[in-house]
Structures are given as structure tokens and as C-alpha cells.
Structure 1
């Protein structure tokens, strides 16, 4: 092996001691500087760090207080709005339609406000109105904590009551208010539940200290919100006493014999106290570390000053150090052969210089070999990846292509180097791509991002791009790495799935429509009729308006089927259905096939006289069809019998009674010879 410039033979033991020459003049000065500056700077550092920690605690506490105030102000305002709703207050005396409107309003509020977990109202008669929640059997709202809390402080609002859900046992925070009905009595409670986890996130502000946390107490010192659910509802009387004696919100408090720095604020709208704690030992540890570091730095500085003084006293000791640095630089730069040999003094510095030089040569060779091996490994990984790995400068100009790029884009590595990233992206996606590069540089947004790419032959395909930055030793970015994957097949699969989902939704809607429609006549079927009658009868009960119903039946329809056949019978029913659609013109009226050859017409806001007039027009229109009926003993043509009933003055209790009366009227029309209309009055 060739000898380096540091490899001459020298005596291993120095004839003179640099330590003896320098230490005598510098030791006393160094000792004094270390002691004075250490005490002075350590004191300043201690009080500075304690003040900074208190400021951090105060800032976190104010942020939590503000968040809770804003959060519950919105919830309280929503409660007040619902309290002013007459239907919500009088829900016990309202019908199903009004209660459904209340549930719909609850759903609207819940959808509009992500803070609301459950919105509901409970009443003293056991009624519970809540949306998207299944109540357990035997549920009694008056026994629940939120109901009792609101009733206990009426007419004030109960805010922030923590309790467990009766079904899921999850922790919820309830805000509730007693409802006064139109009779002036408190008969119910409207309440909004918020997720404990969501509120816990409000108090989980970004902390600078690991042991920093916040919690909330009520006026009695009971825990309302705490990161640990096990402490919910627990009383902290000692904490309340410490808060009362605190100076401007700052105080110290011991938890399990551990001293904490603390700060508190009050939330005026709820009467809560927000407390933020930090373990004092966590604050002291970095202070002690910094103190030791300062002492060490000051000591080093003092020692250096002492050595400088020694160097000034003996300049002959400085030249070896200069030569040592020059020769180490030459070794690193690979210029060893052209450097003139320097004879070092036979002392500690001379021996150290020779040994460091020899170590530098060995380290440089080992480092070069290590870098070459690493470069080969990285290059193998880069070229073996099925994804394209491209390196570009910050302007977007490509510096290096991987082996996957030619197959993906159609450009050779020689063609790709020097091109811009945007040359490979569809022009319509350029603005989004540039915005994502800006986000990468500013916020280190690495993706993945999806774009439409363009091959060399002009064909488009879909790609997914993940980004990363290469930084220098100072942390400044100077290169971009783009990992590009062809996702064309995946996108096609996603589109096929989306089309399949759309087809399934269309089929579902068609099935739902068919379930409510008579397939023969196209009219609403019996199921649809029952729902419509319930809604109209409920409206009749609320408004007091008259509601009429016509039921009609084809005379001797069985004989018609037996004589002309079932296809002709089906056609007869279809023509009668079309006739009904033509005669019954009002949008508010409802026609349905009741069953077999029976049809029914619901006439909203229609008196008995109006129903009789419409029945006459229907009978006349059916006669004009002139459908031959050779087996009828009433007429040579198809005829119908009609029955009419009218609900007025709240005599009837439900829609089924109205249907029964109309059916009896139709039966009387048949008994009296058919092809006529009969009215069945309600019972007196």
C-alpha cells in the first residue's frame, strides 16, 4: 500500500507538553468565566422558561374556553328556537302528521349542524319524538337524567349534563329545556345530545407539552368534560378551592403528589370553569437540560478563550494547527500527492495531527466505497420498480427517468431528460397539477394525485402521482421525486362499478313504484289508497273541512267475464279507469283501484252535494263508453253502481268508517236495482 503524507515514523512520546504551556495562564480565567456566566444565564433561563410555559397554558386555556363558548352558544340558540315552536310544545295533543313534521324538523337541524348527535323531545305522557333512533322497550323519557335536569331548573336551560345512552352506554353531553304548552303547563323537555368524543376534541387543543391537558367543571366542582371518561361526574372540591384563591387565573395544583402549573377561565354562557394543567417536572426537565448545555457551552467558550490567550503567548503552537487543517482538506479533496510535507513539532499537537491525518485518509477511502455501494443499491431499486420514478428540479424539468418510463410514456430516457413534467400531463389538468406542486413546496403535500397523462403517440391514460422533496443539509428543497403509476385499468373498473350501482338504483325505484301501482289499470293500488286516505282524513280532522268518498262497482262483472272472456274484462276495467281519470280533474282528488271491479275516489274539501254531482258525471261517462253487456239484466251496456259517504263536523273517528259507509251505500245501490248512486249518511 502506498504511504500517505502522514505516515512517516515519529517518536510516540512528546518532549514537551502543550497542556503545561497553556493551562497555567488560562485555567484561572476559564474557571471564573464558567462560574459567573453559568449562574447569571441559568437564572435568566429558568424564569424565562417558566414564564413561557405559563403563557402556553394560558393560550391553550383561552382557546379551549373560546371553543366551548362558541360550541354551546350554537346549541343553546338551537334549543331556544325549538322552544318557540308551538308544535314542539304541544306535541302531546297533536296527530301523527304534526309529530312527523317535528321529526323532520329535528332531522333538518341535525343535518345542518354536525355538532348535534341526537335531537329529541320527551313528554310527561311517555311520548318521545326522535329521528333515526330506535327506543328500547318500556322507555320512559321522564326517568332520564336530561328530562329531570331540565324540569329541576325550569324555565332555565340545563347545559352540559353528562350521561350514558340507555342503549349504547356511550357518554353524551345533554343540553335541555323544559317546554311550556299552550295551557301554560310544563309538559315536556326538548334536548340536544352532543358526542362526548366530539366535545373532548374541543378541549384537546394542540399542546406544546406532553402532560398538558384540559378539563371542565361545573359550579359545584363536579367534572363535566374530561379526557378520561372514568372521571365524569366526579367532584374535585380541592381544585375548586384552589381556583377561588388563584391570582388572575394562574395557580399551582397537586394531582397524585405531582405539582402542576395551571390556569382557569370561566364560560359565562354555561357557568363552567375550564382548567388547563401541565406537569411542572416536564417544564423543569428542558430547563435543566438547557442550563447544563449553557454551562457546558460557557465552559467551552471559557476554555477556548484561555487557549487563545495561550496561543497569543506562544505563536509557535498555532502553525501546526493550521498545517493540520490544510492537509486534512487536501486529503478530502484528493490532492495528497501535490502537498508539500510539513514537519510537525514533537508535542501533543504534532502527534495528534499525524494520527488524525492517517485516520482521515482511511475514513475517506471507506466513505467513498460506502457511497459507491449505496449508489448501486439505490439505482437497482429505482430501475426495478414497476412504477415510473422521475426526478425533476423545482422548475419541473426532468433530470432522470427510471426504466419504467419508456413503456409507460413512450419516450426513451434520453428523450425524457430535459422535458417538463407538464409535457406528460393533459392540458386540462395543468392548473391542478401546478397547484399540487405549490402545495408540495409549501405544505409538503405528497399526494397521491390523479391526472390524465399523454403518451408520445398522443394516446391518453390515467395516472396516480405521489410526490416527495429532496432537501439539502440546511433543509431547503432542491429536487422533486415523482412516483407515477398507470391506473387506467383501475379507473375503468371503478366506472363499471358506478354504472352497475346506477342500474341497481333504477331497478330499485321501479320496484318501489310497482309496489304502489295497479299493474292492470295504472291507477294507485289498495296500499297506496290506504296511505292517501290516512293523510287526507288526518288533514280533515285538523282543519274541519269536509271529506267525501265515492266507491263504485261494475254491475254484473262476473257475467261479463264469463260471456266475453277475461281479456275483454281486463280491457273493460282499463277503459273505466281512463274514464275516471278524465272525469275527476282536480289535482287534490285521488283515484285508486280498490280491488277486483271496484274503484274508489277520495274528494278533499268536497261536500255531499259536490260528491253527488261528480258521481253523476262518472256514471254518465261510463254509459257513453257503450261497452256491450249482453248478460246484464240492467242494461244492454256496461253500467256501474256507486256509493257516497261524507265526513263532516268530526262525526267520524277514522278513514275506515268513511270507507265502510261508502261501501254500504254501494251495496244499497245494488239492492235497489243497480246503475244508480246511493248516499250513506254517518250515524247520528
Structure 2
């Protein structure tokens, strides 16, 4: 009797476990279905499930109802022929034959809203088989909206590109004087040097320094000194004549001018014009040992196309010439003899 009772208990336990695991399986399946339905209902684009034989619509998501202006019940009582005026019965059959072979399709057509208005859509169709029966599933993208998004995306991309260019340009500009900085000078000088050798033309460097600038800052203050540097930088830049002529702030009160394809006399002439342009400003400098206003000194280094001097040496020669100009009393220029 006890054994029989135990057997019944074990059997009852097995039955309970069977139904428990079956319940868990059904629960998991339902949970997955709920997740899938939630995802489909919250998709941004209209989604349609269609019977391939009758073209009857048997499931749609919220986006489809909203786009076409129907309720779920209204839309699932219609066929593809009701919402797509371009689809005939013959075209529908051909489409399904193609879909069975290719498994996917992509085409442009029109959809009709409940109020009768038409709009262009791009349809992305797929076919799937379940328990021996085929079903069609399709996403429809409003072409007007798609073009709007693409245009907005392109505009955002263009704006970002422009902003990046602006940031790149800012990174190449001296924060104070708003002319190219040392970083940009390094790049453009290397470029001009390569061009002058490749094109068999000359190259000149002018290194410019503001005379007695430390005493100016000590007497007038650094804020006033910054104003002077800005004025000098802008004046030097405006004095250059050709688009290929280039100036950059080298550091502190020093500037460098790069002149490609200019003669030795042309480089000297430009140095004279730059000196005069700064003197013409007549910026007062009471503590100057030269004149009662701001002056500059310039070192000139010139290289013909067949010279073997490197770009580092040419820059060093311009610096050496500037040093000699300072030694000789400032307010003038010196041509580096090593390059002549």
C-alpha cells in the first residue's frame, strides 16, 4: 500500500513537472512574441504582413495606421490593391513569384491614404515560410520624408565639415594677431620649398623683428604691446603683393615672410617696403634708442633653384642676417652673404 502511494506521488510529481516546464516554455514564447510585437509597433516606418495569394493585409503596425489614416481594424480588412493603386492582380502574382526566388525586393510605388491622397514610397519586401505557408512582410518608406532626412543629414554633414575646417583654420592662426602661426609656417614653408625645387624657381625668406620691443612693453605695458603686435602683423600682411607671398608669426615679436619665385633684388625691395610700412605707422616709442617710434629689423636669405642649401639652413641664414641687422643699429635689413 505504501509503495503504491509512493508511486502515485511520484507520478503526480512528474505530471506537475511536465506542466510546469510546458508552462515555462509557453511563457517564454509569449514573452518573445510580446517583445517582437512591441518592436514592430514602435518601428518608425510602416510595416505590413500580407497574404501572398489574396493580397489581404492581416497585420500592420502603428506607423502604418498613422501614415495611411486608418485604424488597425480598418487597415487589416483591406488588401494591397486598396492602398497601392499601381498594383494589379497580374503584377501582384509576378511580384510574389519573384519574391519567392529572390527572397527580397525593393521598388518605388505609391500608397493611398484614407482621404485619397497619394504619396511616393519605397517598399522593401521579404518573404518567409511558416508551417508550409508563405507570408509577405514589407516596410514602406515615405520617399519625401526619406529625402528630407537625407537632405537634413547632408546639411548636418556639410555644417560639421565647415565647422571642422573653421576649427582647423583657427588652429593654424595666431590667437593674438590673427595671421598664420608657427605651425602653419612650418607646413607652408616646407610646401613652398618643395615647389621651388620642383618648379626650378627661387625662394626667399625674410625674418622680421620689432626693435626694442621689450623696452616698449616695460614702459607702455603688455596690453599696449599686444595692440602693437596686432597692428604690425596686419600691416605686414597687407604690404605683401602676391597671393603666393606668405607671412606668419614666428614667435614673440618675430615674423617670417616666405617669397617664392622672386629675384634677389625683388626680395630686397620687399624688405624695404615692409620696413617703410611699419615706420609709416608712426607708433610712438619714447624709450626706443633708434627713433621715437616703432621700427623693425629684417634678415634676408635668398636661394636659387640650383642651390644645395636645405630649408633648415635657409631659415638659419635668415635668422643670422637678422642678428647682423640688429648689430648694425637696427631699423634696416641685412642680406645673408652665405646665400648670395
**How far is 1:630 from its partner?**
2.3
Counterpart in 2 of 1:567? 223
Using the size of structure 1 for normalisation, the TM-score is 0.35
In the superposition, relative to structure 1, how do residues 440 and 677 fare at CA in structure 2: closer, same or farther (>3 Å)? farther
Counterpart in 2 of 1:484? 138
**How far is 1:513 from its partner?**
2.5
What's the CA shift string for 1:433-468, capped at 9, x where partnerless?
xx9997765685422558785542569797754155
In the superposition, relative to structure 1, how do residues 671 and 587 fare at CA in structure 2: closer, same or farther (>3 Å)? same
In the superposition, relative to structure 1, how do residues 418 and 442 fare at CA in structure 2: closer, same or farther (>3 Å)? closer
In the superposition, relative to structure 1, how do residues 564 and 455 fare at CA in structure 2: closer, same or farther (>3 Å)? farther
Equivalent residue for 1:390, pick from 26, 38, 50: 50
What's the CA shift string for 1:498-543, capped at 9, x where partnerless?
7776665444433333332222223222222222222333343445
Contact 1:453 1:463 in 2 (8 A): no
Counterpart in 2 of 1:407? 65
Contact 1:590 1:601 in 2 (8 A): yes
In the superposition, relative to structure 1, how do residues 452 and 681 fare at CA in structure 2: closer, same or farther (>3 Å)? farther
- Is residue 596 from structure 1 mapped to residue 252 from structure 2 by the alignment? yes
In the superposition, relative to structure 1, how do residues 595 and 454 fare at CA in structure 2: closer, same or farther (>3 Å)? farther
Counterpart in 2 of 1:637? 293
What's the CA shift string for 1:177-198, capped at 9, x where partnerless?
xxxxxxxxxxxxxxxxxxxxxx
What's the CA shift string for 1:586-615, capped at 9, x where partnerless?
122221111111111111122221111111
Counterpart in 2 of 1:606? 262
What's the CA shift string for 1:230-268, capped at 9, x where partnerless?
xxxxxxxxxxxxxxxxxxxxxxxxxxxxxxxxxxxxxxx
SS at match of 1:402: strand
- Is residue 447 from structure 1 mapped to residue 105 from structure 2 by the alignment? yes
Counterpart in 2 of 1:529? 185
Contact 2:60 2:75 in 1 (8 A): no
Counterpart in 2 of 1:275? none
Cα distance between partner residues in 2 of 1:400 and 1:543? 74
Counterpart in 2 of 1:538? 194
C-alpha RMSD of matched pairs (Å) = 4.2
Contact 1:630 1:636 in 2 (8 A): yes
Between 637-646 and 574-583, report the one with greater CA deviation.
574-583
**How far is 1:631 from its partner?**
2.2
Cα distance between partner residues in 2 of 1:589 and 1:413? 71
Equivalent residue for 1:674, pick from 300, 307, 330: 330
What's the CA shift string for 1:262-306, capped at 9, x where partnerless?
xxxxxxxxxxxxxxxxxxxxxxxxxxxxxxxxxxxxxxxxxxxxx
**How far is 1:553 from its partner?**
0.7
Cα distance between partner residues in 1 of 2:221 and 2:313? 35
Higher relative contact order (CA 8 A, sep 6+): 2
Counterpart in 2 of 1:554? 210
In the superposition, relative to structure 1, how do residues 601 and 448 fare at CA in structure 2: closer, same or farther (>3 Å)? same
SS at match of 1:550: strand
In the superposition, relative to structure 1, how do residues 590 and 466 fare at CA in structure 2: closer, same or farther (>3 Å)? same
Counterpart in 2 of 1:664? 320
In the superposition, relative to structure 1, how do residues 644 and 452 fare at CA in structure 2: closer, same or farther (>3 Å)? farther
Cα distance between partner residues in 1 of 2:92 and 2:333? 77
Counterpart in 1 of 2:14? none
What's the CA shift string for 1:368-421, capped at 9, x where partnerless?
xxxxxxxxxxxxxxxx8864223477xxxx752225378353342587348444
Contact 2:121 2:140 in 1 (8 A): yes
Contact 2:210 2:296 in 1 (8 A): yes
Counterpart in 1 of 2:44? none
Contact 1:463 1:484 in 2 (8 A): no
Equivalent residue for 2:78, pick from 404, 416, 439: 416
What is the count of residue pairs matched by the alignment? 278
Counterpart in 1 of 2:169? 513
Cα distance between partner residues in 2 of 1:548 and 1:390? 77
Cα distance between partner residues in 1 of 2:225 and 2:95? 73
Equivalent residue for 2:273, pick from 594, 604, 617: 617
Using the size of structure 2 for normalisation, the TM-score is 0.65
In the superposition, relative to structure 1, how do residues 402 and 587 fare at CA in structure 2: closer, same or farther (>3 Å)? same
**How far is 1:581 from its partner?**
2.2
Cα distance between partner residues in 2 of 1:672 and 1:496? 63
Counterpart in 2 of 1:456? 114
Structure 1 outlier segments of 4+, above 6 Å: 435-440, 459-463, 490-500
Cα distance between partner residues in 1 of 2:92 and 2:277? 71
Contact 1:652 1:658 in 2 (8 A): no
Cα distance between partner residues in 2 of 1:452 and 1:635? 83
Cα distance between partner residues in 1 of 2:269 and 2:302? 13
SS at match of 2:209: strand
**How far is 1:654 from its partner?**
0.3
What's the CA shift string for 1:326-348, capped at 9, x where partnerless?
xxxxxxxxxxxxxxxxxxxxxxx
Where do 5+ consecutive residues of structure 1 fail to align?
A: 1-383, 424-429, 471-479
Counterpart in 2 of 1:627? 283
- Is residue 647 from structure 1 mapped to residue 303 from structure 2 by the alignment? yes
